[in-house]
Amino acid sequence: QFALQIYTTKLVIFFNIVALGLIILVTLVFFKGHLRVSIVGWICAIFSVCVFAAPLSIIRLVIKTKSVEYMPFPLSFFLTLCAITWFLYGFSLKDFYIATPNILGFSFGITQMILYLVYRGETKALILPDSNNKVQLEQFPNANNVQQSTVNQNQEGAMNYGVAGMISNSQVVPSELNV
């Protein structure tokens, strides 16, 4: 856990200081006038598309598990609103480095919201690692059904501390309702 925090901190420092400093240095030294504006505009447009495309990585998991548990609707909704707002701002200024990436942001946001609407009432699937480090899916009923399973003490304690993903299948004790 601590090593992951150090790695994340290094990435944040690298991207926020080193990469930004390198972009500023290269554009100031090697480019002048309108070409500099164009290059910085394209760099910003690429980063803007990356921001909107990042939540799309969860789509595969949503389709595979048939559950929107890992894709919160408010994130998709507000990213879409943000894209619309910035598109209108860029379009009003006739700044297509602002407007163009937000067209993609709008379409990505709509895609996520449609996916949410399609899978919101489906059964949830729990992703559990098996002994071969492969991932398998176990289907569980949605919140509308009142079925429960008995959980042993170790698993319950692990869930309280957020490490339920590390629990093997052999620790789950099914109740009569789920059999």
What CATH number should be reported for the domain holding residue 56? Answer: 1.20.1280
28 and 50 in a common domain:
no
pLDDT at residue 178, rounded to an integer: 42
Residues 101 and 68 in one domain: yes
Does the pTM exceed 0.85?
no
Query: What pLDDT shows up at residue 81?
Result: 94
- Same domain? For 63 and 102 the reply is yes
Distance CA(84)–CA(4), nearest Å, equals 35
122 lies in the same domain as 47? yes
Q: Of the candidates 126, 141, 161, which is a domain's last residue?
A: 126
User: Is the same domain home to 7 and 75?
Assistant: no
Token pair listed for 91: 């379009």
Residue 9: what pLDDT?
92
pLDDT value, residue 66: 85
How many domains does one find in the chain? 2
Within a domain: 63: yes
Cβ-contact 103, 87 below 8 angstroms:
yes
Give the pLDDT of residue 53. Answer: 80
Residue 133: CA count within 13 A, CB half-sphere: 0
Whether residue 113 is found in the same domain as residue 53: yes
For residue 109, the tally of other CB atoms under 10 A from its CB is: 24
57 and 103 part of one domain: yes
Contact 171/152 with Cβ under 8 angstroms?
Answer: yes
Question: Is residue 67, in this structure, part of any structural domain at all?
Answer: yes
User: What domain range includes position 1?
Assistant: 1-32
Contacts of 39 (CB under 8 A, 6+ apart): 27, 31
Same domain, 68 and 121: yes
Q: Which residues contact 48 (CB under 8 A, 6 or more apart)?
A: 86, 98, 101, 102, 105
So what's the pLDDT on residue 60? 82
84 located within any domain: yes
> Average pLDDT by consecutive 10-residue portion of the chain (179 residues)?
90 88 92 92 89 80 85 88 94 92 90 89 57 51 44 41 41 42
Tokens of 165: 């993903």
